[in-house]
Structure 1
Amino acid sequence: MLAGDADREHAVDILKEAYTEGRLRPEEYDERIGWAYQARTYADLDRITADIPHAPAHRAPPQPYPPVPLTFAPVPRTNSAATAALVCGILGFLTLGVTSLPAVICGHVARGQIRRTGQHGDGQATVGLVLGYLGLAGLLAFISLIAVLLAFAPGP
Structure 2
Amino acid sequence: MRASHSDRERAIDVLKAGFSEGRLGQDEYEQRLARAAQAETYGDLHALLADLPQGPVPLPSPVPQQHFPQPQPVAPRTFLPAKPMPKTNGTAIGALVCGILTPMYGLTAIPAVILGHKAKAEIRKNGEEGEGLATAGLVLGWMAIGVAVMIMLIVIGAS
Letter of the 2:107 partner, please give it.
Answer: V
* Residue of structure 1 in register with 2:136 after alignment: 127
| Equivalent in 124, 132, 152 of residue 143 of structure 1 | 152
* Cα distance in 2 for residues equivalent to 1:71 and 1:98: 46
Matched to 1:75, the amino acid is M
The answer on 1:81 being equivalent to 2:58 is no
Counterpart-to-counterpart distance in 1, 2:94 and 2:155: 30
Please state if 1:106 is matched with 2:115.
yes
Gaps of 5+ in 1: 1-8, 15-54
- Structure 1's 130 and 57: CA in aligned 2 closer, same or farther, altered over 3 A? closer
Pairs within 5 Å for 1:45-56:
none
Q: CA deviation at 1:147?
A: 2.8
How many aligned residue pairs are there?
98
Match in the other structure for 2:103: 93
Q: Which residue of 2 aligns with 1:34?
A: none
Residues of 2 paired with 1:81 and 1:56: CA distance? 59
Mapped to 2, the partners of 1:106 and 1:71 lie a distance apart of 35
Which SS does the other structure have where 2:37 is aligned?
coil
Q: Distance in 1 between matches of 2:127 and 2:137?
A: 18
**1: distance between equivalents of 2:34 and 2:84?**
49
> Which residue of 1 is the match for residue 81 of structure 2?
71
Structure 2 portions without partners, runs of 5+: 1-25, 39-56, 58-74
Q: Percent identity?
A: 38
- Paired position in structure 1 for 2:49: none
| Structure 1 position 60 matched with structure 2 position 37 | yes
- Greater gyration radius: 1
Question: Does the C-alpha gap of structure 1 residues 58 and 139 become closer, same or farther in structure 2, counting only changes over 3 Å?
Answer: closer
Q: CA deviation at 1:74?
A: 1.7
Letter in 2 for 1:124: L
Letter in 1 for 2:85: V
